[in-house]
Every structure is written in C-alpha cells, then in structure tokens.
Amino acid sequence: MAILIDGKKTSQEIQSEIAGRVSEIKAEGGKVPHLAAILVGNDGASQTYVNAKVKACEQVGFESTLVRLEDTVSEEELLKVVEDINENPEIDGLIVQLPLPNHISVEKVTDKIKPEKDVDGFTPSNVGRMALNWPAYVAATPYGIIELLKRYNIETSGKHCVVIGRSHIVGSPMSILMARNGYPGNSTVTLTHSRTVNLSEITQTADILIVAIGKPEFVTANMVKPGAVVIDVGIHRIADTSKKSGFRLIGDVKFGEVAEKASAITPVPGGVGPMTIASLLYNTLLAAEKKVYG
Ligand code: NAP
C-alpha cells in the first residue's frame, strides 16, 4: 500500500508557519499582508472558493478585502476596479476569481493585474519568470504540488514525470516546474493531452504521474507503473446517498486500486486541494515582504 501524501496536514503546517511569520511582522511593527479578491456574479462554487480564501486569510492573521460585483458589470468597470487595487498601497496581493462572465475577456483582466500583486501567478510576467527559473509567483495548484513533493522528500531528479493535461493553471506550469534545474525538478518530463496517442503506454513508464485531466477516476491501476508516485489534481462531486451532504468527492485517479500499486499517492479529498489555499497565502506573504520583485 502506498504512502499517503497528506495535503490537509501539510497545508495546516504551512498555514501555521505563515501565521508565525505574521506574528513576527506585527511584533516588528511591520505591515500585515493584505489580500484582495474580486468575485464577479453568484456562481456557487466560486463563492465557496473565495469564502474559503478569505477565511484562510483571517486564520493566519492577514487582512483581506472581498470586492463583489454583479455579473452584469462591464469589462471596463472591472478593469477599473483592478487598476484601483493595483494602485492601492494597502493591498499586497490581488486575485480575480475565475470563471468570469462570457462578455469579459479573462486575458484582458489578467493582463491588467500588476505582476507585483499577481499572487495567483497567472500574468504573462509571472509565467515567464517561472519558466526562466527567476523568482516568481507560481500558480497555486502546481506550487502546492511542488511543496508536497518537497516535504515528502520525493526524489525527482532523473525520474520520468508524466503530466496528464496541459491547462494554463495546472498541467502546463507543472511540466515546466518538474523540468527546471533544481529540486523538486530535474525530471525528464512528458506533457500529455487529448491528442496524445497511446497515453496508457506512456503513463506506464512514469516514475511520477501527475494527473490533471478533469475526468473522474480516469487513471486506473493498469496505467500505472508499480512503485510510481501518483499526484491526483482532479476534484469531482458525485452523488452518494450514504453521505449527509448527498455527495462525495473523487479525483481523476481510481484511488483504491492505484494506491495498491503506487509507492505514494495523494488522496481526494485531502491531497492537492488544501495545498492550493496554502500556496496562495504563501504568495501573498511573499508579496507583502517584496520577496519576488524586490
Ligand atoms: P482542463 O482545463 O479541463 O484541462 C484538462 C486537460 O486534460 C486538457 O489539457 C486536455 O487536453 C486534457 N485531456 C482531456 N482529455 C484527455 C484525454 N483523453 N487524454 C489525455 N489528456 C486529456 O482542467 P484543469 O483546469 O487543468 O483541471 C483538471 C482537474 O483538476 C479538474 O478536475 C479540476 O476540477 C481539478 N482542479 C483541482 C484544483 C485543486 O486545487 N485541487 C485546482 C485546479 C483544478 P486538451 O488541452 O487537448 O484539451
């Protein structure tokens, strides 16, 4: 049976480290980190995610500002809100919760965020800096995975890392990070996507398999090399009448049978998910301490 890579416990450790640093900042009379989040519309999942981020800020002692806008807000109005936050010296980090309504260009809004405050790591400046191995705000989900590999001492150098999925927020940055010259990194990386031929043959050669495909329980035991490290990014709600809530969460990996074969694996829930918020808080701390752009 594989070692369980516990994202919940690790994220709690990171959050208490951050809270410790906030106490020091306060004691030194410094400025407490301040995160602003913009939420457009009333999408239930987005509200849940933003509320969790605001609550996490409170727990580590950050200040937070939530700006809520109607889904009828114009692109111009939203860009103006971003600009105002860019110029507000009280605010260190800014995130715009996605998705945005169809009439608003995600690219335009992302590009408007000042790179120095882009704690989601989505702007071209931060993606470029990450690719160059310069100090950067790295997108929260890939950064959380890197931190898990590090804290579980997973050897990555010279390993074959296969990433399934090439989204801008997960798969693509993940492949760059695993190939970087450093630890975690120095892997030989194969980035796969929907046009990949013979996916299963490729995944069977992976020492580290990172799955961000967005398809419930897609990866089965026969796709996994014995002893592989398996990181499951997927999150899916499925109906389950035995649960009080009426649903349970599953990932992109068929956990039970893959855990039998892997050497280490992230569960869903409690794996990659909780790390995402810890990474966002960490980036906000970096922003407040001006550690990325100097
Ligand atoms: P996405 O944007 O939908 O990307 C999915 C990727 O999978 C695409 O690159 C797609 O290829 C590829 N793909 C689709 N079918 C495939 C196939 N049959 N074989 C190989 N590749 C295939 O998804 P995402 O935003 O990266 O998210 C992935 C999953 O992670 C979702 O379940 C999401 O909910 C979850 N997620 C979790 C967190 C967290 O904090 N835990 C954060 C973000 C996302 P093409 O590019 O060719 O279409």
Residue 11 domain-assigned (yes or no)? no
Under 8 Å CB-to-CB from 101, ≥6 apart: which residues? 40, 41, 71
Helix (H, G, I), strand (E, B) or coil at 200: helix
Evaluate: CB of 277 within 6 angstroms of ligand 1: no
**Cβ 137 vs Cβ 120: under 8 Å:** yes
Same structural domain for residues 86 and 172?
no
Same structural domain for residues 110 and 42?
yes
- CA 178, distance to chain mean position in Å, is 15
**Cβ 91 vs Cβ 116: under 8 Å:** no
Evaluate: CB of 266 within 6 angstroms of ligand 1: no
| 250 CA distance to ligand 1 middle (Å) | 14
Same structural domain for residues 205 and 158?
yes
Same structural domain for residues 181 and 98?
no
pTM (2 d.p.): 0.96
pLDDT digits (tens, 9 = 90+) for 121-155: 999 999 999 999 999 999 999 999 999 999 999 99
Mean pLDDT (whole number) for 85-99? 98
Helix axes 124-131, 171-179, angle to 10 degrees: 30
Residue with tokens 């309504």: 101
Q: The domain that contains 163 carries what CATH number?
A: 3.40.50.720
Q: What is the pLDDT of residue 32?
A: 97
**Cβ 250 vs Cβ 213: under 8 Å:** no
Residue 85 domain-assigned (yes or no)? yes
Same structural domain for residues 178 and 231?
yes
Same structural domain for residues 53 and 167?
no
Residue 14 domain-assigned (yes or no)? no
| 211 CA distance to ligand 1 middle (Å) | 8
Residue 248 domain-assigned (yes or no)? yes
**Cβ 91 vs Cβ 57: under 8 Å:** no
Burial readout 248-265 (b: 16 or more C-beta within 10 A, e: otherwise): ebbbbbbbeebbebbebb
pLDDT digits (tens, 9 = 90+) for 204-238: 999 999 999 999 999 999 999 999 999 999 999 99
Q: Which of 6, 92, 118, 120 is catalytic?
A: 120
Ligand 1: nearest atom to the Cα of 268 = 41
Domain count, the chain: 2
Ligand 1: nearest atom to the Cα of 252 = 32
Catalytic status, residue 120:
yes
Same structural domain for residues 178 and 257?
yes
Evaluate: CB of 170 within 6 angstroms of ligand 1: yes
Residue 101 belongs to domain spanning: 29-114
294: pLDDT strictly greater than 80: no
Query: Residue 210 is inside which H or E element, if any?
Result: strand 208-211
256: pLDDT strictly greater than 90: yes
Catalytic status, residue 232:
no
Residue 17 domain-assigned (yes or no)? no
Same structural domain for residues 158 and 262?
yes
Q: What is the pLDDT of residue 291?
A: 94
Residue with tokens 């009439």: 103
Q: Which of 53, 112, 159, 254 is catalytic?
A: 53
Same structural domain for residues 221 and 165?
yes
pLDDT digits (tens, 9 = 90+) for 56-86: 999 999 999 999 999 999 999 999 999 999 9
Catalytic status, residue 92:
no
Burial readout 80-114 (b: 16 or more C-beta within 10 A, e: otherwise): ebbeebbeeeebbbbbbbeebeeebeeeebbebbe
Same structural domain for residues 148 and 263?
yes
Nearest CA to ligand 1 atom 17: 194
Ligand 1: nearest atom to the Cα of 272 = 41
- pLDDT-based confidence at 177, cuts 50/70/90? very high
- pLDDT-based confidence at 101, cuts 50/70/90? very high
Q: What is the pLDDT of residue 1?
A: 84
Mean pLDDT (whole number) for 288-292? 96
Q: What is the pLDDT of residue 159?
A: 98
